[in-house]
Structure 1
Amino acid sequence: MAFQALRARRDARQRDWRRRSTEAPTHACQAIPGTSLEVEVTTLAGRGLRLSPQAAPCQPGDTLAEFPTSVSVLATSQVPHRCHFCFSKPDHALVRCSRCHFARYCGAQCQAAAWTDYRHRDECHALRRWFRTAEHPDTLPDLAREPGPSVRALAQLLWRRQRQDAAWWQPHARMISHRTTLDAASQEEAASIAYRLAQFLGSEGTLRALGIEHADALLELVCQHRANGFTLSDPHLDPIGVCIQPTAALLNHACEPNAVVVFPEAKPGHRCRMHILALQPIQPGDAVLTSYVDVATPHAERQRILRERYHFTCRCALCTRHDSWIDPRTALWCPHTGCVGWVSPTAPSACRQCHRVPGAMDVQATLAQAQEAALHVEKAMASNDLHTIPSYVAISLPGLSAIAPPSHHLMWTLLHAAQVVAIEKEAWDEAISYALLLCAGMQARGARDARSCLYIPGHPQRAVLLATLGRLLAQSTSDTPPTASAWLARPPPIPPSAQARREMAWAILQQAQHEALVGFGRATQGGTVGHLVRATLHVLSQEQEAARTMCQPTS
């Protein structure tokens, strides 16, 4: 995102993000109003954010900053299901814009707000022109032909720029683009977006009025968005769109972050706000670092994404581990009968559990099949096309679960998709099985330290997964023995009775509440996830009290 390094280091594409609090900034630091953060420029990392030396130390769950986004738009797959203004997903039918037929709203209040503050007024005209709605007013727009979330986001950014002063635009103009170092495929992708953006906005005169004087300026803007845009997520961390926030874009990267960016609350009728939260203790003067990629992704894939999209090689503590630990993201089960230890898929090493060195393992065909299935599943999840997922999971998960623990990155993808499908079809025993494995996988460690697990304690993903498992267990009221999933070679044990499941739910929800207060912030009481957890705990408490009352002898 925000990277300005010396030319020699940039050309080498090598950067060390192990920020030391003793490293002096090369320029005067600039305070960010309303926060305890400031912008610093260092030799190693370029521009970034740090906790002000005058600030108090931050603890996990502290809010470092809270911002509105400059623009935020829904992904194409989310447009039919969410309000175009507040992004909520109401139970009732959405109201469609009568002009463009594209935008939908949860009510008249959101529709009026979107029009009044110009978030949809300019966009509506552009969408009508794009879909030719004015010529065919009775024809609904084909979402497959829509300009795309990146185009809609950048168009809104330029329309907002037209109505703001120069100071508002300055942070956006300073965002780095990496345009001159893009590979051929990335250049072609950026050029395609720029072309669609020009078509969406209209004539050359319109572009000049919006501050775009030539094609290079338009391409630069697209590349800035590519390098600095954020995924817009709902309070459960599900991706629902894209957004731009230039101050948050200054956060530098570490695969072992001390901060996280979330949207912890969704309030109907209100735009969601971005929160930067501390995941670990941060001392005054320390850099504030977040992860640009999902930290459950294995090392090689993280590095590939960072090189291709952000043009650096990460050298954080997690990426430079040289000890003999086995990464849970790529670990395989020890092949020796009865052992539940891990072995490395590449280097011949002794199992940590039985201390024996495994022989040659014929797993490549299984892993290749799972890799192909995971790619299809990820695309299906992104497009909300759930009906295609079971066939891929059924083919690949039985074999993969026999050789890989739930922390393995391919297991993680398939388990998450299988859980979503199971919940959709109300197959509760299956959903609980997958949720148990996901929770086990996220906490799995390849060594006796917290940093080696997929998600460090307090990460919001832990709160979401634990809350899901706890709520699934809490609503399981049948005393019928649970049915094991046919897709799992090693199904986890599920408590056999409803009472045992409720007791397990209580313990898991207590942990989820603690994790939510960190991952979604104490200031919001854990956000929407924390609210749902407390509500479920309250129901469980009432049920337990009612059960005790019924068991008391009558006088």
Structure 2
Amino acid sequence: MRVSATSGRGLWAKKLIKAGSIIISLRPHSFALGSQYLDSHCSTCAAVPNSGLLRCTGCRTVWYCNATCQTNDWLLHRLECSALRNWAKSAPSKNLSVPSDAVRCLGRILWQKRQEGFDSSWSKEIDALQSHRHYLQPRVVENNTHLAHSLVRYLGLSSPRELSKFGILSAGDLTDLISRFVTNTFALTSPSLTPVGVSVSPLVALFNHSCDPGAVIVFPRSSRKPTEEPQMQANLTSYVDTTLPRSLRQAALKETYDFTCQCESICEIYQCVKCRAVVTATESIMDSLRVGQEALEKATSIQDTGQSSMLNTKTYPCDFGIRLHKSLLLFSFSADMPIRTSAKHYMGLSALLRDGHPVRAVALAELGKLLAVDEPRPATSPLANVSFPPSGPPRLKAAYKTLVHARHELMIGFGRDNDGGELGRNIRETLVSLEKELGVWTQGIHNTVQDALNSSRNLYLPNAGVCKQNVTAYGQVLFAAVVDR
């Protein structure tokens, strides 16, 4: 850790780090699940257990894997439990009966600071997070003010002055707390990168920004340390969506983090995806960008308002837009449309993101899983003669190759020591299943050819030898074609 005149306080690598290495692995200081995930994920380890969850009988809001997780969380939840009950009693509607994940995470931070002691290393690490309250834009100030009022209400206080028991002695202290939280919050995600809440880690927050990051933050769920989940695993991370145009990235970085990025990838250069030649006539590209930006804004506007949409959490590019597009396509008339769209998404991401980037790896894994579900097209289908996606056995072969490549990228994006995380392990199991399916199908062709050969031996004809040769030749060609495909 050192301080740079241009980048401020941060972490620097002292040696080259191999792709797929886990740079750091730790449990965040604090995290909170999004409201819609409280009844499906454990509030202690953020897991989705195979068996049923245990519900807190007090607040009837949070759930746990088992009694061990419930006991481990009790020191904080006994305070949270009362706050959740009181909030629900005064909620104007059922939809607002649970505060946002941001409010709940802030509450847990303040309760733990008081338990640990304001002079403890845990509290000092939270207080050392960077605050930008002197440079906040009006919109950010408004959002932070709303968050502060909600926090005071959640803690059961009548005014901010009562926050003194949490070590907050002035309005400036409260503003610093909110600003530190908003600036340094990471999205808590599932192993497949779906945002399921918010998290805070002072150490991981020291990783500086790059528009072409050398590493990212993931929650892959290692099979080796289930009792220490959720584990954040991360050098340089991107604070914003790296697929946005330069002007929007610069605006977001300035508004939330108060700096102007100088890295090379911030430059706007348009190249041909195939030959990498620089495109000089950019009018059509700019028109496409404007249309795409309008679509992104519309997609953003329909996100769940119950979540921390006010927070500029450090998360992953294109994630929400891609998932929205896919969900809308589920209602299309063609079963192949999601596959074709998924393939286009991966091709677009592969032109923007490095090999092994978690977003790119997950997109390829989803494409492979879609291909693995064989849905032959009816002869009357308008896509009956379309070459992609293939149908029948060739589709299984395409799925296998796609998932092998996906596993390679998952091993980089989620760590080789983790075996690619939970998603990587699932893909490995799918590959084993596909290998068996392809083996059965190939063996069936072999048996068919052998039956034809046996039948030719029983033909009592003068030209039986010729017939046998023809069947043998035909069988060899057919079998070779099958294996090749």
TM-score (norm. length: structure 2): 0.79
Are the equivalent residues in 2 in contact too, given 1:72–1:241 (CA < 8 A)? yes
Q: Which residue of 1 aligns with 2:24?
A: 65
> For 1:255 and 1:368, how far apart are their aligned partners in 2?
21
Are the equivalent residues in 2 in contact too, given 1:255–1:316 (CA < 8 A)? yes
Q: Match for 1:541: what amino acid?
A: E
The yes-or-no answer on 1:467 pairing with 2:354 is no
Q: Which residue of 1 aligns with 2:237?
A: 290
Q: Give the match's secondary structure for 1:223.
A: helix
Q: Give the match's secondary structure for 2:176.
A: helix
Q: Which residue of 2 aligns with 1:110?
A: 69
- Picking from 271, 275, 288, the partner of 2:233 is 275
> For 2:369 and 2:192, how far apart are their aligned partners in 1?
14
Q: Which residue of 2 aligns with 1:517?
A: 411
Are the equivalent residues in 2 in contact too, given 1:257–1:289 (CA < 8 A)? yes
Q: Match for 1:271: what amino acid?
A: E
- Correspondence list, 1:263-412, <5 A: 263-265=219-221, 271-276=229-234, 288-320=235-267, 325-326=270-271, 348=281, 371-382=293-304
> For 2:386 and 2:181, how far apart are their aligned partners in 1?
43
- 1:534-554 Cα offsets, whole Å, 9 max, x none, are 111101101122123333337
Unaligned ranges ≥5, structure 2:
308-316, 455-485
The yes-or-no answer on 1:198 pairing with 2:152 is yes
The yes-or-no answer on 1:170 pairing with 2:124 is yes
- 1:13-49 Cα offsets, whole Å, 9 max, x none, are xxxxxxxxxxxxxxxxxxxxxxxxxx11121211110
> For 2:144 and 2:176, how far apart are their aligned partners in 1?
9
> For 1:418 and 1:299, how far apart are their aligned partners in 2?
23
Alpha-carbon distance, 1:418 to partner: 2.6
> For 2:289 and 2:2, how far apart are their aligned partners in 1?
44
Structure whose CA Rg is larger:
2
The 1:79/1:327 distance shift into structure 2, 3 A limit, reads: farther
Alpha-carbon distance, 1:274 to partner: 0.2
Q: Give the match's secondary structure for 1:318.
A: helix
- 1:147-195 Cα offsets, whole Å, 9 max, x none, are 3221111110111112225122112111111101112221121122112
> For 2:164 and 2:438, how far apart are their aligned partners in 1?
67
- 1:186-244 Cα offsets, whole Å, 9 max, x none, are 11211221121122113368632221222221121001111111111111111111110
Alpha-carbon distance, 1:104 to partner: 2.7
Alpha-carbon distance, 1:362 to partner: 12
More helix by share: 2
> For 1:427 and 1:266, how far apart are their aligned partners in 2?
37
Q: Match for 1:50: what amino acid?
A: W
- Correspondence list, 1:234-245, <5 A: 234-245=190-201
Q: Which residue of 2 aligns with 1:451?
A: none
Are the equivalent residues in 2 in contact too, given 1:482–1:494 (CA < 8 A)? no
Are the equivalent residues in 2 in contact too, given 1:161–1:168 (CA < 8 A)? yes
More strand by share: 1
Q: Match for 2:151: what amino acid?
A: L
Q: Match for 1:308: what amino acid?
A: E
> For 1:247 and 1:144, how far apart are their aligned partners in 2?
33
Q: Match for 2:36: what amino acid?
A: S
> For 1:538 and 1:480, how far apart are their aligned partners in 2?
29
Are the equivalent residues in 2 in contact too, given 1:430–1:484 (CA < 8 A)? no
> For 2:78 and 2:238, how far apart are their aligned partners in 1?
35
Q: Which residue of 2 aligns with 1:437?
A: 344
The yes-or-no answer on 1:120 pairing with 2:77 is yes
> For 2:322 and 2:156, how far apart are their aligned partners in 1?
45
> For 1:94 and 1:426, how far apart are their aligned partners in 2?
37
Q: Give the match's secondary structure for 2:397.
A: helix
> For 2:306 and 2:178, how far apart are their aligned partners in 1?
26
Q: Match for 2:413: what amino acid?
A: G
> For 1:102 and 1:317, how far apart are their aligned partners in 2?
47
Q: Which residue of 1 aligns with 2:56?
A: 97
189-198 or 309-318, larger mean C-alpha shift? 189-198
- Correspondence list, 1:245-264, <5 A: 245-264=201-220
Q: Match for 1:375: what amino acid?
A: E
CA RMSD of aligned residues (A): 3.5
> For 2:253 and 2:286, how far apart are their aligned partners in 1?
28
> For 1:361 and 1:325, how far apart are their aligned partners in 2?
11
Are the equivalent residues in 2 in contact too, given 1:87–1:271 (CA < 8 A)? yes
> For 1:432 and 1:456, how far apart are their aligned partners in 2?
22
> For 1:427 and 1:128, how far apart are their aligned partners in 2?
47
Are the equivalent residues in 1 in contact too, given 2:213–2:238 (CA < 8 A)? yes
Q: Which residue of 2 aligns with 1:536?
A: 430
- Correspondence list, 1:44-63, <5 A: 44-52=6-14, 57-63=16-22
Are the equivalent residues in 2 in contact too, given 1:416–1:438 (CA < 8 A)? no
> For 1:230 and 1:500, how far apart are their aligned partners in 2?
41
Q: Match for 1:194: what amino acid?
A: A
213-222 or 89-98, larger mean C-alpha shift? 89-98
> For 1:311 and 1:149, how far apart are their aligned partners in 2?
25
Alpha-carbon distance, 1:80 to partner: 4.0
TM-score (norm. length: structure 1): 0.70
The 1:59/1:146 distance shift into structure 2, 3 A limit, reads: same
> For 2:277 and 2:96, how far apart are their aligned partners in 1?
45
- 1:480-509 Cα offsets, whole Å, 9 max, x none, are 469679xxxxx9852332211111111111
- Picking from 197, 204, 209, the partner of 2:165 is 209
Q: Which residue of 2 aligns with 1:154?
A: 106
The 1:306/1:201 distance shift into structure 2, 3 A limit, reads: same
The 1:363/1:519 distance shift into structure 2, 3 A limit, reads: closer
Alpha-carbon distance, 1:414 to partner: 5.4
> For 1:518 and 1:191, how far apart are their aligned partners in 2?
40
> For 1:483 and 1:296, how far apart are their aligned partners in 2?
36
Q: Give the match's secondary structure for 2:169.
A: coil
Q: Which residue of 2 aligns with 1:43?
A: 5
Are the equivalent residues in 2 in contact too, given 1:479–1:498 (CA < 8 A)? no
Are the equivalent residues in 1 in contact too, given 2:270–2:278 (CA < 8 A)? no
Q: Give the match's secondary structure for 2:211.
A: coil
Aligned residues with identical type, % of pairs: 30
367-376 or 307-316, larger mean C-alpha shift? 367-376
Alpha-carbon distance, 1:513 to partner: 0.8
Q: Which residue of 2 aligns with 1:417?
A: 324
Q: Match for 1:251: what amino acid?
A: F
Q: Give the match's secondary structure for 1:252.
A: coil
473-482 or 147-156, larger mean C-alpha shift? 473-482
Q: Match for 1:291: what amino acid?
A: S
Q: Give the match's secondary structure for 1:441.
A: helix
Are the equivalent residues in 2 in contact too, given 1:194–1:222 (CA < 8 A)? yes
